[in-house]
Amino acid sequence: MPAPSVIIDLDIIAENTRRVADTLKPQGIGMFGVTKAACGSPLVARAMLRGGVFGLADSRLDNVRRLRHAGISAPIMMLRIPSVTEAPDVVRHCDLSLNSEAAVLDALAEAAQEQGVVHDVILMLEMGDRREGVSPEDLIPLAQTAMAEPSLRLAGIGANFMCASGVLPTVEKLERLARLADDVEQRFGTRLDYVSGGNSANLALMETEGVKMPARINNLRIGSTILRGENSFTGGTLPGYDDGAFTLEAELVEMKTKQSLPDGETGPDAFGNRLTFKDRGARLRGIVNLGRVDIRPEGLKARHRNIEIVTASSDHLIVDITEAKKFAVGDPIRFEMDYGALVQAMLSPYIEKHLAGRENIAPRPSAIRLIADASVHDLEETRQFLLGATALGFEIKRDGAPEPADLPLWIIPGRNGIHELIATADVEAVESGLLWMDSDPGDIGAVVTPEAAALLGIRTATREQAAIIGERDIVAFTMEDVDLVGIREATRRAIKRVTETTDGFALVLHASVARGMDADPREAGLSYRECSTVMERVAASEELRAIVLAGLGAEPDPAALESAYGYLLSALGKRILA
């Protein structure tokens, strides 16, 4: 695993979510899963949805867009009170938002009216934490503003605790919130959908002190308990929850015995802080390839016993390993992160993100399942290809539905229905990447996980296709790009993209992309060598899970089919000298 990386265990996220749901459901409380500490990662969001959240909540529009572009259609709540200028985008991407200002409600109403929708608002009450919200006396006038706007729906009221000032939620405060909900309902003769009582701190109150939420509280917004198993009161872990969903892994790059005191006159460090150190004599110290640029070192704790964090500069994290087990330069060092460090690590472009335990989720395929027209099955070229696949150790199956250890190979005439085919190969809880080799981006809008998709070999694209590629942030290498960076580098980046946060990927190989498969050899983009290089890298990744061979027409030309089979055998791991 390249370091530094954040290793994300989606199973733990889903399991922690289930646990929260088990606590809340009997009390009639629903929850929104808060994705902001994971920067709106669609993978994390889907794990939360699998675990039973009703909707998702985030504080940043960029994160919400990321969720929407990944095709997530669950309700999304905007947590941070919107600014006037972003009101149109909040209405466009979010189903509901938390609010405290009449001017913002006006802006939301205007935007909703323009977009022809009704936007749900929750009004926030200030209950001591001194962050967002109106005082109880100002609630009715604000509710009046919301009620007066036909394009807004007053969906509820809410409060937030333990954020700006660390003020704890209490039953007394929550009862006050419940009474205010009654007041609003009586005053306006409406029914509020949400009385949103707070965040993970409320859950800590319930789980550690056995406190029941007042009956009217029917919603919480939960982030840190799901992501970190955190007890918000103590910073520790709540009993029964797993704190291992995110691990920061970096590498030991220096190990030397050094004096614990600096030598020489001292001024401020690189960040303007004046530090004092304790004289502990000579200590065995390590340097880990992380720094303040990536991470807040105060928010890290080593997952190994007896490693102490001493200090950090922009790029060097200094640890004391005198009392730890024996390490060597090059060893991975693992850290847990607090909420702040987690966001920062998720944001850092220098830190890769990987999924943990994928080998447990998606087994390596042991069989090739050829799904094609009967005439293709009968061809001599097909027989030869299947013999080649058998020699590589694959069992051969024909047609029918793909089973978990199968690598399905569909041969289809054109581009129609590719996304649907790939979807049938996906097992629940498996995130698939998509490496699409084609001269034309096809139905690119239907890509399910754009963050794990890459296009290679594009020669033409319509304006619409180009816009979708840009908007959904899909990695695309045109033939021009391939000429510029070279096929090896383009392939490396593409495969990185489709494997980094997935349990393997599907390969779409369209006849128009490479020499030999295409009817008109002058048209094809990639040369025989270039396409073979891609296939060899695909094999080396060991993450190929499905193949769609497309564009050979209803009755494939045997020579074109033979070329395509040759490429596919390379992708399955055939070597010249094997």
Q: Known catalytic residues? A: 36
136 φ, ψ (degrees, to nearest 5)? -55, -35
143 φ, ψ (degrees, to nearest 5)? -65, -35
Cα separation, 350 vs 401, in Å, equals 41
Residue 13 interacting with ligand PLP (CB under 6 A)? no
Residue 79 interacting with ligand PLP (CB under 6 A)? yes
DSSP letters spanning 249-287: EEEEEEEEEEESS--S-----TTS---------EEEEEE
Residue 355 Cβ, how far from ligand PLP at the closest point, in Å?
22
Cα separation, 279 vs 293, in Å, equals 28
128: left (phi > 0), else alpha (psi -120 to 50), else beta? left
Residue 200 interacting with ligand PLP (CB under 6 A)? yes
Residue 320: how many other CB atoms lie within 10 Å: 18
The binder of ligand PLP chosen from 35, 99, 232, 502 (CB under 6 A): 232
Residue 339 Cβ, how far from ligand PLP at the closest point, in Å?
7
Integer distance in angstroms from the first to the last C-alpha of the chain? 27
Q: Of the ranges 61-69, 216-224, 298-306, 442-450, which one interacts with ligand PLP (CB under 6 A)?
A: 216-224
Residue 17 interacting with ligand PLP (CB under 6 A)? no
Q: Are strands 96-99 and 76-78 parallel, antiparallel or unpaired?
A: parallel
The binder of ligand PLP chosen from 133, 169, 223, 244 (CB under 6 A): 223
User: SS in 3 state form for 87-131?
Assistant: HHHHHHHCCEEEECCHHHHHHHHHHHHHHCCCEEEEEEECCCCCC
Residue 395 Cβ, how far from ligand PLP at the closest point, in Å?
47
Cα separation, 451 vs 532, in Å, equals 25
DSSP letters spanning 139-188: HHHHHHHHHH-TTEEEEEEEE--SSSS-PPP-HHHHHHHHHHHHHHHHHH
Residue 227 Cβ, how far from ligand PLP at the closest point, in Å?
7
Name the residue type at position 432.
S
Residue 225 Cβ, how far from ligand PLP at the closest point, in Å?
6
Nearer to ligand PLP, 199 or 465 (CB): 199
DSSP letters spanning 347-371: H-TTSEEEES-HHHHSPPP-EEEEE
Question: For residues 39-68, which are near ligand PLP according to CB under 6 A?
Answer: 59
The binder of ligand PLP chosen from 3, 33, 36, 435 (CB under 6 A): 36
Closest-CB residue for ligand PLP? Answer: 223
Contact pattern from residue 90 through residue 119 relative to ligand PLP, giving x for each residue in contact according to CB under 6 A and a dash for the rest: --------x---------------------
Tokens 């965040």 correspond to: 199
Contact 502, 431 (CB under 8 A): yes
Nearer to ligand PLP, 34 or 547 (CB): 34
Nearer to ligand PLP, 200 or 499 (CB): 200
Nearer to ligand PLP, 222 or 356 (CB): 222
The binder of ligand PLP chosen from 222, 342, 452, 474 (CB under 6 A): 222
Contact 122, 97 (CB under 8 A): yes
Q: In residues, how long is the chain?
A: 578
Q: How far is CA 238 from the centre of its chain?
A: 24
Residue 163 Cβ, how far from ligand PLP at the closest point, in Å?
6
Residue 197 interacting with ligand PLP (CB under 6 A)? no
Nearer to ligand PLP, 147 or 163 (CB): 163
The binder of ligand PLP chosen from 7, 13, 20, 34 (CB under 6 A): 34
Contact pattern from residue 142 through residue 181 relative to ligand PLP, giving x for each residue in contact according to CB under 6 A and a dash for the rest: ------------------x---------------------
Residue 271: how many other CB atoms lie within 10 Å: 10
Residue 226 Cβ, how far from ligand PLP at the closest point, in Å?
8
Residue 78 Cβ, how far from ligand PLP at the closest point, in Å?
9
| Per-residue buried b or exposed e for 346-378, using 16+ beta carbons within 10 Å of the residue's own CB | bebeebbbbbbebeebbeebebbbbbbeeebee
Cα separation, 31 vs 56, in Å, equals 8
Nearer to ligand PLP, 223 or 291 (CB): 223
Q: Of the ranges 10-18, 182-190, 219-227, 394-402, which one interacts with ligand PLP (CB under 6 A)?
A: 219-227
Residue 473 Cβ, how far from ligand PLP at the closest point, in Å?
24
Q: Of the ranges 217-225, 250-258, 496-504, 530-538, which one interacts with ligand PLP (CB under 6 A)?
A: 217-225
Contact 77, 121 (CB under 8 A): no
Nearer to ligand PLP, 340 or 400 (CB): 340
Nearer to ligand PLP, 77 or 418 (CB): 77
Residue 199 interacting with ligand PLP (CB under 6 A)? yes
Residue 124 Cβ, how far from ligand PLP at the closest point, in Å?
8
Among 125, 119, 159, 127, which Cα is nearest to 142's?
Answer: 125
Q: Of the ranges 8-16, 222-230, 283-291, 498-506, which one interacts with ligand PLP (CB under 6 A)?
A: 222-230
Counting residues that bind ligand PLP (by CB under 6 A) gives: 13
Report the interface residues with ligand PLP, using CB under 6 A. 34, 36, 59, 79, 98, 160, 199-200, 221-224, 232
